[in-house]
Chains A and B, each alone.
Chain A
Amino acid sequence: MPCPDLGALRASIDAPQGPAPAPLHDHVRACASCSDTLAELQRNAELAAPAIALTAPAEPPSEAAVEAALARFEQRRARLAAARATTAATTTPDPAPPVPLARRRRRARTWLSTRARAVAAAMVAVLLLTGLVATPAGRAAAAGFLGQFRSQRLQAVPVDAGQTSQIDDVLTGLVDSGVFTGDPHQVAGFDAPEAAADLAQAGRMVGFAVPAVAPSVLPAGVDRTPRRILVSRAQEVRITFDRDRALAYLRRHGRPDARLPERFDGTQLVVRVPAAVVQQFSGRDGGPAVLVGKAGMLGVDTEGGASLEELREVVLGLPGLPAETVARLRSIGDWRTTLPIPVPTDQVRSRPATVNGAEGLSFADQTGRLHALLWQRDGHIWGVAGVLGADKARDVAQSLG
Chain B
Amino acid sequence: MEVRLVRAVGDAVGARTGSRDRFVAVFRERYRDLYGLGYRLLGDHGEAEDVVQETFLKLDGHPVLERPDEEVAAWLRRVCLNTAYNRLRGQRRATERLDRAARADRADDETDTSASPLLDVLRTEQQQAVRRALASLPERQRACLLLRHAGYSYAEIAATLDLAVGSVGVLLARGERAFRDAYLDNDDDPGAYDALP
Asked if B170 and A54 make an inter-chain contact with CB atoms under 8 angstroms apart, the answer reads: no
Which listed residue (B1, B126, B174, B193) contacts A54, Cβ 8 A? Answer: B126
Asked if B31 and A362 make an inter-chain contact with CB atoms under 8 angstroms apart, the answer reads: no
List A contacts of B56 (CB < 8 A).
73
Q: Does A238 contact B (CB under 8 A)?
A: no
List A contacts of B129 (CB < 8 A).
369, 387
The distance in angstroms between the C-alpha atoms of A349 and B118, with both chains bound, is: 16
Asked if B176 and A55 make an inter-chain contact with CB atoms under 8 angstroms apart, the answer reads: no
Asked if B169 and A7 make an inter-chain contact with CB atoms under 8 angstroms apart, the answer reads: yes
List B contacts of A393 (CB < 8 A).
191, 197
List B contacts of A366 (CB < 8 A).
193
Digitize A333-373: 1 where CB-to-B-CB distance is under 8 Å, 0 elsewhere. Answer: 00000000000000101110100000000111111111101
- How many pairs of A and B residues are in contact by the CB < 8 Å rule? 262
Q: Does B140 contact A (CB under 8 A)?
A: no
The distance in angstroms between the C-alpha atoms of A370 and B192, with both chains bound, is: 10
Q: Does A30 contact B (CB under 8 A)?
A: no
List B contacts of A386 (CB < 8 A).
122
Which listed residue (B1, B32, B114) contacts A89, Cβ 8 A? Answer: B1
List A contacts of B43 (CB < 8 A).
55
List B contacts of A289 (CB < 8 A).
125
List A contacts of B167 (CB < 8 A).
7
Q: Does B49 contact A (CB under 8 A)?
A: yes
When C-beta atoms are compared, the residue in chain A nearest to B52 turns out to be A69
Q: Does A82 contact B (CB under 8 A)?
A: yes
The 6 closest A-B pairs by CB, nearest first: A7-B169, A389-B191, A85-B8, A7-B170, A389-B189, A368-B193
B residues sitting closer than 8 Å to A (CB atoms) are 1, 4-5, 7-9, 11-13, 24, 27-28, 31-32, 35-36, 39-40, 43-50, 52-53, 56-57, 60, 99, 102, 104, 106, 108, 112-119, 121-131, 133-134, 145-146, 148-150, 153-154, 166-174, 176-177, 179-180, 183, 187-193, 195-197
